[in-house]
Amino acid sequence: MSAHRASSVPGVDVLVRAGKAGAPLSCRLVGIANGRIHLCGDRWIEPSSHVTVSISRITLSGEVEYCTAADAEYRICVNADSAEEGTRREPRLSVFQTASATVLTDALRNTTEGVLIDLAVSGLSFEMATSAEVGAIILIETATSLIVGEVRHCQELKNHRFRAGIAITDIFIDARFQQNSGVTRKPLRRKLAEAVLGARINP
């Protein structure tokens, strides 16, 4: 998958709220790539507005980069990296961490519980009860983060569960957790390396 192409995730409904007092707007998530969340909705949202995007249990925050009319609806791009330059919001990931996963293909959407098993700089392994199609987009939700990736391989285990190898394309931390903990952003490779080594890496 190209690093510059949005991960297509049709059929996922999200709620967008502009400002603290804004009424929630129902939108459809159509892609996530390079720290940007691509949405379709039936209402205009002012560019440069600060918004929150609720995806299932995770709430992300960012700034509206653009909002354009297209085919009787609006295409909205939210830059989740607006607060700081250059990197994504990235939580510390631990091995054997439970999470829920939503596997998305053109034909279906399947959500299952599972466990993060092996973590490397370029991706992770996720064990779950159902198989995942190679090339499918997968959204993995931990207690405080949303991991977006592409399934590169999936094999059945002896216990009749499945282990998927996933190439990570984006990692976002829940905006509510970030506000409470003061978590800062770091480059993706550095943060994953810290998780593998179990120690902080000084720049």
- Selection from 95, 82, 61, 93 nearest residue 189 by Cα: 93
73 and 155 co-located in one domain: no
17 and 107 co-located in one domain: no
pTM reported for the whole predicted model: 0.65
Domain-embedded: residue 88: no
pLDDT in 10s for each residue of the chain, 203 residues? 444 444 444 557 889 998 777 788 999 888 887 788 999 999 999 999 999 998 877 888 899 999 999 888 999 999 985 434 444 444 545 578 888 998 887 666 778 899 988 776 668 899 999 999 999 989 988 877 888 899 999 999 988 999 999 998 888 877 776 555 544 445 555 555 444 444 454 55
Residue type, 57: R
At residue 29, φ and ψ (nearest 5 deg) are -80, 120
Assigned token pair, 78: 């939210």
Strands (E), 71-161: 73-79, 97-104, 109-119, 123-128, 137-141, 145-156
DSSP state of 131: -
116 and 173 co-located in one domain: yes
Predicted local distance difference test score (pLDDT) of residue 88? 46
46 and 129 co-located in one domain: no
At residue 9, φ and ψ (nearest 5 deg) are -135, 75
119 and 192 co-located in one domain: yes
75 and 148 co-located in one domain: no
DSSP state of 107: S
Assigned token pair, 77: 């791009």
Q: Kindly report the CATH number assigned to the domain that includes residue 32.
A: 2.40.10.220
Q: Kindly report the CATH number assigned to the domain that includes residue 177.
A: 2.40.10
Range of the domain at 188: 97-197
17 and 71 co-located in one domain: yes
Listed in sequence order, the residues at least 6 apart from 2 whose beta carbon sits closer than 8 Å to its beta carbon are none
Domain-embedded: residue 87: no
The total of structural domains in the chain comes to: 2
Long-range contact pairs involving 189-197 (C-beta distance under 8 Å, separation at least 24): 189/121, 191/90, 191/91, 191/92, 191/93, 192/90, 192/93, 192/119, 192/120, 192/121, 192/122, 192/168, 193/121, 194/92, 195/92, 195/93, 195/94, 195/95, 195/119, 196/119, 196/120, 196/121
Domain-embedded: residue 157: yes
190 and 137 co-located in one domain: yes
